[in-house]
Amino acid sequence: MHWVFLFLAILFEVGGTVSMKFSEGFTRLVPSILLIVFYLTSFSFLTFALKAIDVSIAYAIWSGMGIVLISIIGYFYFNEQMSLGKVIAILFILGGVIFLQFTSKAHS
Which pLDDT score is estimated for 105? Answer: 66
Which pLDDT score is estimated for 52? Answer: 95
Which pLDDT score is estimated for 108? Answer: 47
Between CA 82 and CA 43, with CA 9 as vertex, the angle to 5 degrees is 115
Which pLDDT score is estimated for 89? Answer: 94
Residue among 69, 15, 71 nearest 43 (CA):
15
Q: What angle, rounded to 10 degrees, do the helices at 55-76 and 84-106 form?
A: 160
Which pLDDT score is estimated for 103? Answer: 84
Q: What's the domain range around 39?
A: 2-106
Provide the domain count of the chain.
1
Which pLDDT score is estimated for 67? Answer: 94
pLDDT, the chain, mean: 94
Count of CB atoms situated within 10 Å of the CB of 18: 20
Confidence of residue 104 (pLDDT cuts 50, 70, 90): confident
Residue among 4, 27, 1, 32 nearest 16 (CA):
32
d(CA 64, CA 69): 9
Of 49-63, 72-86, 89-103, which gets the smallest average pLDDT? 89-103
